[in-house]
Amino acid sequence: LNVFRYLTFRMGLSVISSMTIVFLIGAPFIKFIESHKFTGPIRDDGPQEHIIKKVGTPTMGGLLILIGIIFSTLIWADLSNPYIWVLLMVATSFGFLGAVDDYLKIKRNNSRGISSGMKILFQIILSIIAVFLLINFANNEHLNNLYFPFFKNLILNLGLFFIPFSIFIIVGSSNAVNLTDGLDGLATVPVMLVALSFTLIC
């Protein structure tokens, strides 16, 4: 049982757990969305063939991804670690913001949900809260340090610049996939690529 103490082992189990829960609830979840006509409108500024193929695509699939993340994190993560709770707070709050955006698109029957300006503003506010929680509860002397991959001794102490830098990273990481998703309403491939990258980094 000592193997459960290793981070790499628990990370592997979390991947399997999240994949399993998504496989189990995925089909019923998609059927529920389709039966209730939760299909997002497709932007009309793309190729005509692309628009025809994407019409009727169920939206709010991000909820399925979020359920998988929360499920595996609560089972396998060290819940005494404040970073885990900040991570869950950012993921769920940004996910909720995305769900509200999708709901408004369905309700108005167009591709305009929350305006881009308001969305960025909400993301910045949520990021400020996350950074505030980190500063007050993480209590880590290395929090302000920026480490460079492959360079063992190259460390940059950001000082107070840590706050705007962290906000930029959180908002930027969210929109790296979100902007691509907005082109056709299908985030699967971008999410897979980003998730794989994060998995390799872990």
Confidence band (pLDDT; 50, 70, 90) for 121? very high
Query: pLDDT tens, 25-55?
Result: 888 887 877 776 665 555 555 555 555 555 5
What is the rounded CA–CA span in Å between residue 85 and residue 20? 23
Higher pLDDT, 176 or 12: 12
- pLDDT for 98: 82
Banded pLDDT at 9 (limits 50, 70, 90): confident
Non-local (6+) Cβ contacts of 161 within 8 A are: none
Which amino acid would we find at residue 174? S
Measured CA to CA, the distance from residue 156 to residue 159 in angstroms comes to: 9
| CA-based R_g, the chain, Å | 19
Residue 157, strand partner residues? 145
Rounded Cα gap, residues 149 and 25, in angstroms: 37
* Predicted local confidence at residue 182, as pLDDT: 57
